[in-house]
Each structure stands twice: as C-alpha cells, then as structure tokens.
Chains A and B, each alone.
Chain A
Amino acid sequence: MSLIRQVMWRRASPLQLYQANKLAATRWASQDVAPLDPKTALARPEELEQRNKLSGKITVPTAVNLSPISGVPEEQIKERRVRIHIPPKNAMQSGTDNINTWQIEFDNRDRWENPLMGWASTGDPLSNLNVQFGSQEEAITYCERNGWRWYVDGAEKPKKERVKNYGINFSWNKRTRVSTK
C-alpha cells in the first residue's frame, strides 16, 4: 500500500501539488483552530492526570476536627470547656431584641489583682472571646470543629403567654375611652 502511495506521489505533477497545497491552506485558514494552551500542551501526562483529579471533588466526612491545623495551643483545646447559652435579658428596661443569639463562653481561669493599679488581670487568651451564633446547632458545630468540649446551658422553655393587662384597658368593648367633647 505504501509503495503504491509513494509511486502515486512521484507521479503527481508540481502544478497538482501546488493546487493541493493551496486548497489545504485555504481550508485551514477558513476553520478557526482553537489556540493551544501551553500549560496543557507542555504538561506531562501524569501532570495532566493530577490536574484532572484535583479539578474533581473528594468525599470527606462532614464532621471535621480542625484543631490540629487551627494553631490554637494544645492545652487550650484539651483543657477548656465551652458553655453554649442564650444571654439573659438585661434586668433594666431594655428591649429583648438583642438576646436571640447563642453565645459561647469558656470556663474561668486564674484572675488576679494587678499590684500596680489594682485592676483585674488574667492570662487567659480565650476569656474575652465573644462569638454569637444564630442557632444552637451552629454553636455546637463550631465547638466540634475546634475540638472543644461543650455543653448547652439552660433548657429551652416555651414562653408562657402573658395577658397584656394594660392593653385591655383600651379594648374596643371597654368603655374606658372618654370623649373629649
């Protein structure tokens, strides 16, 4: 077969060859050839395979403990216990709009009176941590991810319906509103 092709090739006249070349050139020019990406073209096959793999997804458990890479010292992870709670309402006449969050709070560590000024000092890096969460589950997930032991303080009690005494005074069927005329 190859012999025949060679023979045929030899028999082709220069004019025919020129025409064939021209045809091929126009055909290539008319088609839009996608430009080669040098990163893909020059990569080794194993590199391409690795890149393919990395562009996909892997299956991991949802619950993950990030304490080895979080950078928090080990003793601050193993020895601390977190209290998850809803902050109480201010006893003064403040509203209740700011108490719908869940907060985390760490157990207390040594505090001492500063000998210079008498202010309270502490060496606890987590004592002032104030993180608020929208729900109890979020707070629990946060603690689990950071490897802290936790407990939820205060059971959720349904709020008792309260009779609004003051508003009753102005009910439509109470003759409490007097005419000003």
Chain B
Amino acid sequence: MAGREAVKRAVQQVRPILSVDREEARKRALNLYKAWYRQIPYIVMDYDIPMTVEQCRDKLREEFVKHRNVTDIRVIDMLVIKGQMELKESVEIWKQKGHIMRYWKESQDPKPTDFLSKFIQGVN
C-alpha cells in the first residue's frame, strides 16, 4: 500500500480562460463579490426568503472563503464564471425560493448519535 506521492512542483504552459495573472483573477473575484453584495437586498426582497440581509452576506462570505485555498488561475476563473451565472439566475428570477434557500441546506444530514434516532433511521 503506497501512500500519497510527494506533490510535484512541475509547471506547464496552457491557454488562459479569462485572466492572465493572479492579480487579474483576484480583481474578477472581488468584482463578483461586490456584485453579489449589492444584489443581496434585492434578492431578499424579491424572493421573500426568511433570512436577513446580514445572514445572506455572511453566507456570501462563507461561500467565497470556502475557496480561499484555490491557487490555479483557471480554476478561479471557472469559479468566477459559475458565480456570475448564479448571480444572473438570481437577478433574473430564473431561480425560485427553494434554490436560494439551498445555500443554507447542508447536502448531507448529520448522522444520528443517540440510540433512539439511530433506531428510527435504521442505522447502527
């Protein structure tokens, strides 16, 4: 059983997606953040979600901080593109309330810890 190999430090030449350097990618990410930040009050109003603007902004920050360790410029660009698409969908009300509330839903329910919940869910 072999363990994880040492991370190779090799580099390669590739075609850029949007940005050619880190600074440009950073600017794009910041622009997207600002756009979301300004749109949040309207989103809260339009979709009539049971969240305050502050809670939405916390969630926005959380979503961006989740990817703070991403270093590859192309991956950052793709994330920005995806974020832009989400924003567009929210602005145009192509989404519905449930799609917005999905940001707060964990994709997996926590495992039951006490006996009765385990028994009811049928897991050991």
Contacts and interface: CB of A to CB of B under 8 A. Distances in A.
**A and B physically associate:** yes
Interface of A: 53-54, 56-66, 68-69, 73-75, 110, 112, 140, 149-153
Given A73-B107, A151-B1, A151-B3, A58 B21 contact: yes
A57 B10 contact: no
- 7 smallest CB-CB distances across A and B, nearest first, come from A62-B10, A57-B13, A69-B78, A152-B2, A53-B20, A58-B16, A75-B108
Contact of A110 (B16, B18, B123): B123
Q: Helix, strand, loop or mixed for chain B's interface? A: loop
Interface of B: 1-5, 7-16, 18, 20-21, 67, 70-75, 78-79, 82, 107-108, 122-123
Contacts of B71: 61
Contact of B1 (A61, A62, A64, A152): A152
A29 B110 CA distance: 79
A81 to B, nearest CB: 11
B14 A57 contact: yes
5 contacts: A59-B13, A68-B67, A69-B82, A75-B108, A151-B2
B5 A140 contact: yes
Given A54-B20, A140-B5, A151-B3, A60 B15 contact: no
Contacts of B20: 53-54, 56, 58
Given A68-B67, A150-B4, A62 B12 contact: yes
A57 B4 CA distance: 30
A123 to B, nearest CB: 10
Which of A64, A151, A152 is packed against the most chain B CB atoms within 10 Å?
A64
Contacts of B74: 60, 64
B7 A69 contact: no
Contact of B75 (A56, A58, A66, A149): A66
A73 B8 CA distance: 26
A54 B73 CA distance: 13
A53 B16 contact: yes
Nearest to A83: B1
Contacts of B107: 73-75
A63 B13 contact: no
B11 A61 contact: yes
A65 B111 CA distance: 28
Contacts of A153: 1
A120 to B, nearest CB: 15
Nearest to B124: A110
A68 B70 CA distance: 8
Contacts of B8: 62-63
Nearest to A54: B16
Nearest to B15: A57
